[in-house]
Amino acid sequence: MDSLVNSIFQNLLPSEISLKTEKLLKNIALLLGLLSAIAIIFDWYPLTMFLSFPFCLIWIYCAWLQTEPQLKWVNLIFLLIYVFGIARYLLGFDA
């Protein structure tokens, strides 16, 4: 399964980025994480999912670049949960 995810990232995203770009991505992820936490505190549903989705994407990508498979898989699981939640919301299945 790890090789499947790696091949998807290799085909969709560059396999190397500059340290400056990686730092920028991680700072964006930090901002998204903070905004998501604030959205949780103020109960701004569904904003939490929409902020957390790109947060997970960035961390999966950065983990893949640094070959940190555990971090990649944790964020991939969360990403799938957010995809499910966002789909439910957009399709009107949320009560």
Residue pair 56/74 in contact (Cβ under 8 Å)? The answer is no
Name the domain count of the chain: 1
Q: Which two tokens stand for residue 88?
A: 């439910």
Specify the higher pLDDT residue, 10 or 89.
Answer: 89
Per the domain annotation, does 37 fall within a domain? yes
**Is 52 within a domain?**
yes
Q: Do the domain assignments include residue 61?
A: yes
Does the residue 10 lie in any domain?
Answer: no
Residue 6 covered by a domain: no
Residue 43 backbone phi and psi in degrees, to 5: 55, 50
- Cα(62)–Cα(47) distance, rounded to whole angstroms? 23
Range of the domain at 66: 19-90
Q: Is residue 4 part of a domain?
A: no
Give the separation between CA 88 and CA 47, rounded to whole angstroms: 14
Q: Would 13 be classed as within a structural domain? A: no
CB atoms within 10 A of CB 3: 8
For 29-66, the pLDDT digits (tens) are 999 999 999 999 999 989 999 999 999 888 888 876 66
pLDDT at 72: 78
